[in-house]
Amino acid sequence: MSTITESAASPATPEPSNFEKLDMRADKARVTLGSRVASVVAIVIAVLWTIPTLGLFITSFRPEADIKKSGWWTWFTNFNTTIDNYVEVLTGSRFELSTFFVNSIVITLPAVIIPITLALLAAYAFAWIDFKGRNILFVAVFALQVVPIQVTLIPLLTQYVKWGLAGSFWTVWLSHSIFALPLAIFLLHNFMKEIPRELVEAARVDGAGHVKIFFQVLMPLLVPAIASFAIFQFLWVWNDLLVALTFAGGDQNVAPLTVRVAELAGTRGQAWYLLSAGAFVSMVVPVIVFLALQRYFVRGLLAGSVKG
């Protein structure tokens, strides 16, 4: 709208090309976003965004009666603090919380490693090996991303029961791998494609085979992409309740932490005051993983997004 009126008002000035317009707008955006006002807005948003978490954090340290009767903000005028909620969360079950922690780790690590390993191999083939039907296959894999996992739950479970896998970790590992593969292949493929062809060709001229190229030329360059996908997958698997509940169930031999947290509130929800403490307990590991790997995360997020 504004561009039309502008160009109508000043027909004398030469029309800037589309590219120049875009560039000007981008420049304007850069200046606006970099200004102090933008920083203030960003800080305000960040504070607003953090308030619920802060409330949750304060709630987790308040006594049961206070939680049930008043909001967390009243804590500032009435400093009742207790660690009972954490004690209850950590020791209240008939199984130790450590059982669920171990289960969560046992579930998460293979569910991250399996899809990344497979996706790396597949992505390499899609990017650097010429075979018939490669593009069709790639599009098919890519298209699989649109399948919602909910529709696969019952058929998959039926299949696992037939194979006699039900109730074991394999069901969860396989399911998470299946659900992760399309995105993993797509992401890693795009990243691999960005690596200059000359690099791979030079290696080939020097007599390197696919194995050598894969491990010695590509792998070192792929670390950010692998790390960022590993974080994605780790957080998804660690926080997952649906897949774990459907395939592993509430059996303490295989149930992860999320299943335990979901049941903290008790049969009739009478112990819901424990949920805030439970949330922080289950949050610890993902936060550590994110902080440890975050420098890859920002770099890796851009992986495959822009070709340049």
Partner 1 sequence: MKSTMKRHHVVAIASSVTLALSLAACGSDTPEKPEGSGTGTGTASGDCAAYESYGDLSGKTVTVYTSIVAPEDQPHIDSYKPFEECTGASIKYEGSKEFETQLQVRLKAGNAPDIAYIPQPGLLKTIVGQFPDSIVEASAGTSANVDKYYAASWKGYGTVDGKFYAAPLGANVKSFVWYSPSMFADNGYEIPKTYDELIALSDKIVADHGAEGIKPWCAGIGSGEATGWPATDWLEDLVLREAGIDVYNKWITNEVKFNDPQIAAALGKVGAILKNDKYVNGGIGDVKSIATTEFQDGGLPILDGNCFMHRQASFYAANWPEGTDVSEEGDVFAFYFPGMTADSRPVLGGGEFVAAFADRPEVAAFQAYLSSPEWANAKAKATPAGGWVSANSGLDPENLVSPIDKLSFSLLSDTSQDFGFDASDLMPGNVGAGSFWTEMTSWIAENKSDTQVLDAIQASWK
d(CA 105, CA 288): 14
269 makes contact with partner 1 (CB under 8 A) = yes
CA 91 to chain centroid: 29
Quick note: the x/- pattern for partner 1 over 122-141, rule CB under 8 A, is --------------------
- Token pair 């360059």 in the structure block, residue: 221
For the bound state, the minimum distance from the C-beta of residue 175 to partner 1, rounded and expressed in Å, comes to 13
Site for partner 1 in 213-232 (CB under 8 A): none
95 makes contact with partner 1 (CB under 8 A) = yes
268 makes contact with partner 1 (CB under 8 A) = yes
Residue number, 137 or 245, with CB nearest to partner 1: 245
Report the residue count for the chain. Answer: 308
d(CA 111, CA 230): 10
d(CA 54, CA 58): 6
Site for partner 1 in 150-209 (CB under 8 A): 153-154, 157-158, 160-162, 166
Residue number, 230 or 259, with CB nearest to partner 1: 259
d(CA 93, CA 264): 9
Among positions 57, 86, 93, 203, the unique one binding partner 1 when judged by CB under 8 A: 93
d(CA 198, CA 32): 40
For the bound state, the minimum distance from the C-beta of residue 107 to partner 1, rounded and expressed in Å, comes to 17
Hey, what are 93's tokens?
């079950």
The H-assigned helical ranges of 61-96 are: 64-69, 84-91
Q: Which residues bind partner 1 (CB under 8 A)?
A: 64-65, 68-69, 92-96, 153-154, 157-158, 160-162, 166, 245-246, 249-251, 259, 262-263, 265-272
